[in-house]
Chain A
Amino acid sequence: MVTAAIWPALDYSRVPYRLYHDTELYRREQESIFQGPVWNYLGLDTEIPNPGDFRATYVGDTPVVFNRDEAGAVRAFVNRCAHRGALVRRELCGNAREHTCLYHQWCYGLDGRLTAIPFRRGIRGKGGMGPSFDMGAHGLRRLKVERINGAIFGTLCDDAEPLETYLGPPILTQLRRLLDRPVTVLGYNRQRVKANWKLYAENTRDNYHASLLHEFLVTFGLDRSTQIGGVTMDARHRHNITWAEADSDDEEAAKAAYAGARIRSNFLTLKDPELVKFRRERADPLNLAVTSVFPSSVFVQISNSLAIRQIRPRGIDEVEIFQTMFGYADDAPDMVHHRLRQANLVGPAGLVSMEDGEALELAHKASKPDPDSATVIELGGAGEISDRDYRVTDVPLRGFWSYYAELLGIEPTGAVR
């Protein structure tokens, strides 16, 4: 049983490998985190424009379906029949007037209420449900739903704080920036990584690895740690924005900095430089903004490629990264083409992301046999958890662990937050 005694340091600068491999802990995470007082990105308004439109997704490993009801409201439910626990909606998306379970055809409305049970009164007066059966108490389990500029979030916890409070000012501002006009879905991609889900959640907060692991960034001069950038968190330090500004560093200084890291800065030029060319879309100079929302949602701008990722745990040893690629509804055809081209940068085959799959599997594999050893998280200093205006840091990982410990009830006395 993992308890508050597990932490070797009160600032979360050491995380025992057991936390990535303990199967009992996995169950506790599902209950205390994913079914706890957190908000999870479910999908986009634009994916379900019409009444009856639905999509299936997950909150943690709980199957969820969200739809638009007859009145136009967005509703979300656990995708599980109240009768025998079967998946009610089998298709990933579609349009329907109701959700009917395959097994015994129990039928639910778009508001999740149980509307019909076959043979409820039996046949010729025999069989069926008893008179005391309460239809109203056997609907699909509802999620509370809130939206930020067309991004739909859900929570399984009735006591969760309001979404905007949960996100906090800097995160809210960043989401509103990324979703500042109507969006269009360009497609989806999926990746199955043999690693614990938290390794990926950490990875999206890890500014240090980007230009070292993803050598393409530096080799082709797309993004370097010498640029102006940093990490910005919410007050509780559970979420994080990793950001950088375009064209904000000096070519020679960058080459000198990376010489020591054995990485060839601007070593190569592309035959098609448009692949990495940043087209500024708004007043601010950000060409990198990766916003991680605890526990499992990531809003991503890398140059002009835009995406929202869901981190979907699939047991202790595997995670699915489900990514929705999008553009804006008012994009000119040439801009759509540019985004499709820059989609080469991200996803399972991404020129600046494919390495994550390999790095996470290496970390998961080698840490498993030695649960009492611990990972080191000290870039940008140990101790206090706070924002940084530089890029060689992994401080937001400690923020993640701090809130993780709180939700699991394993926060040690005197721990930093």
Chain B
Amino acid sequence: MTTERHRIHDLLAEYGALLDAARYDDWLVLFADACSYQVVPRENADAGLPAALIFCDTRAVLEDRIRALQEANKFNIHSDRHLIGLPRITGDGAGEIGVETPFAVFQTDQEGETRLFATGLYRDRLVTVGGTLKIRDKLVLLDTFAVPSLLATPL
């Protein structure tokens, strides 16, 4: 069990580090081939409403989202800093692990001003592919659903 917990810690640490370094193509490698990534406002989740801010139900849509970010979208010039809390293992079986992890993301602009951009909870389903732990489904439950300015770089 200790080994599994270490692998989960490593995956979460890598996840935050790659996003903060804006290495989005490397970040995509952390996901399994069949995967999903969603950012859902907490107000919708609480009301049982399905609409998301970012809805990538397949790897293709997730890759399109990243390609758009790199090639077409324009957004506030900033750097991100993920502070990822302690993972809570919520389920382990049938070849997958359920993990819930609180997070905060701070944004810093070009003039060095930092603001709290988002807090929330990751709900992950993790699978082992070729000996490596990968993200199969990631739900980013967004507490800060009054999004400051705009949401471009992944949470």
Where the two chains meet, the residues of A that have a C-beta atom closer than 8 Å to any C-beta of B are 92-93, 185-194, 213, 215-216, 219-220, 267-268, 270-272, 275, 320, 325, 336-337, 340-341, 343-344, 347-349, 351, 354-358, 361
Contact between B73 and A351 (Cβ–Cβ < 8 Å)?
A: yes
In chain B between 127 and 155, which residues have their CB closer than 8 angstroms to a CB of chain A?
145-152
- Given A271-B60, A349-B151, A349-B152, are A189 and B51 neighbors across the interface (CB < 8 Å)? yes
Q: Please state if A361 and B64 are interface contacts (CB–CB under 8 Å).
A: no
- Tell me if B6 counts as interface (CB < 8 A to partner A): no
Binary contact track B35-50/A, C-beta < 8 Å → 1, others 0:
0000101011001011
The 8 A CB mask of B49-81 against A (1 = contact, 0 = none) is 111111111101101110110011111100000
Q: Known contacts being A194-B149, A216-B73, A349-B39, is A272 close to B53, with CB within 8 Å?
A: no
**What 1/0 mask marks residues of chain B from 14 to 49 whose CB sits below 8 Å from any chain A CB?**
000000000000000000000000010101100101
Chain A's nearest CB lies how many Å from the CB of B139? 14
Question: Residue of B at shortest CB range from A362?
Answer: B76
Partner of B61 from A220, A272, A325, A358 at Cβ < 8 Å: A272
Contacts of B63 in A (CB 8 A): 271
Please state if B147 and A191 are interface contacts (CB–CB under 8 Å). yes
On chain B, the number of residues with a Cβ less than 8 Å from chain A's Cβ atoms is 36
- Residues of chain A contacted by B71 (CB below 8 angstroms): 219, 267-268
Q: Is there contact, CB below 8 Å, between B146 and A340?
A: no
Residues in B neighbouring A336, C-beta threshold 8 A: 50
The answer to whether A344 and B55 have CB atoms under 8 Å apart is yes
CB distance from B35 to the nearest CB of A (A): 13
User: Which residues of A are found within 8 Å of B54, using beta-carbon distances?
Assistant: 344, 349
CB distance from A417 to the nearest CB of B (A): 35
Inter-subunit contact A351/B68 (CB<8 Å): yes
In the complex, chain A residues whose CB is within 8 Å of the CB of B73: 215-216, 351, 354-355
A343 / chain B contacts, CB cutoff of 8 Å: 51-52, 55
Top 6 closest A-B pairs, CB basis?
A187-B51, A357-B150, A271-B60, A348-B147, A349-B151, A187-B49
Contacts of A340 in B (CB 8 A): 50-52, 55
Given contacts A270-B64, A354-B151, contact A185 B145 (CB under 8 A): no
Bound-state Cα–Cα, A272 to B71, Å: 16
Residues of B within 8 A of A358 (CB): 74-76, 149-150
Bound-state Cα–Cα, A344 to B39, Å: 10
Nearest Cβ on chain A to B110's Cβ, whole angstroms: 13
Residue of A nearest to B152 (CB): A354
Residue of A nearest to B45 (CB): A187
Asked if A215 meets B72 with Cβ closer than 8 Å, knowing A192-B146, A349-B151, A349-B152, the reply is: yes
CB distance from B119 to the nearest CB of A (A): 15
**Residue ID in chain A nearest B58 by CB atoms:** A272
User: Looking at the complex, which one of B56, B67, B151 makes contact with A348 (CB distance below 8 Å)?
Assistant: B151
A341: contacting residue among B44, B57, B149, CB under 8 A = B57
Give 29 A-B contacts (CB < 8 Å), ordered by A residue: A92-B43, A187-B41, A187-B50, A188-B41, A188-B49, A189-B41, A189-B53, A190-B43, A193-B150, A216-B72, A219-B68, A219-B71, A267-B71, A268-B71, A268-B72, A270-B64, A271-B63, A272-B64, A320-B146, A325-B51, A348-B149, A348-B151, A349-B53, A349-B54, A349-B151, A354-B151, A355-B74, A355-B75, A357-B150
Nearest Cβ on chain A to B115's Cβ, whole angstroms: 11
Shortest distance in angstroms between B10's beta carbon and chain A's nearest beta carbon?
28
Give CA–CA (A364, B47) in the complex, Å.
35
Closest residue to A307 on the B side, CB-wise? Answer: B51
Residue of B nearest to A348 (CB): B147
Are B74 and A348 closer than 8 Å at their CB atoms?
no
Bound: A189/B54 CA distance, A: 11
User: In the complex, how many angstroms separate the beta carbon of A91 from the nearest chain B beta carbon?
Assistant: 12
**Set B53, B76, B148, B152: member contacting A192, Cβ < 8 A:** B148
For the complex, what is the distance from the CA of A336 to the CA of B51, rounded to whole Å?
10
* CB–CB B72/A191 < 8 A: no
List residues of chain B with CB within 8 A of the CB of A275: 61, 64
Provide the residues of chain A in CB contact with B145, threshold 8 Å. Answer: 189-190
| B51 neighbours in A (Cβ, 8 Å) | 186-189, 325, 340, 343
Q: Which residues of A contact B56 (CB under 8 A)?
A: 344
Question: Distance in Å from the Cβ of A221 to the closest Cβ of chain B?
Answer: 11
Q: B58, A349: Cβ atoms under 8 Å? A: no
Nearest B residue to A213, CB-CB = B74
Chain A residue nearest to B49 (CB atoms) is A187
Considering the chains assembled together, what is the distance between the CA atoms of A188 and B49 in angstroms?
8
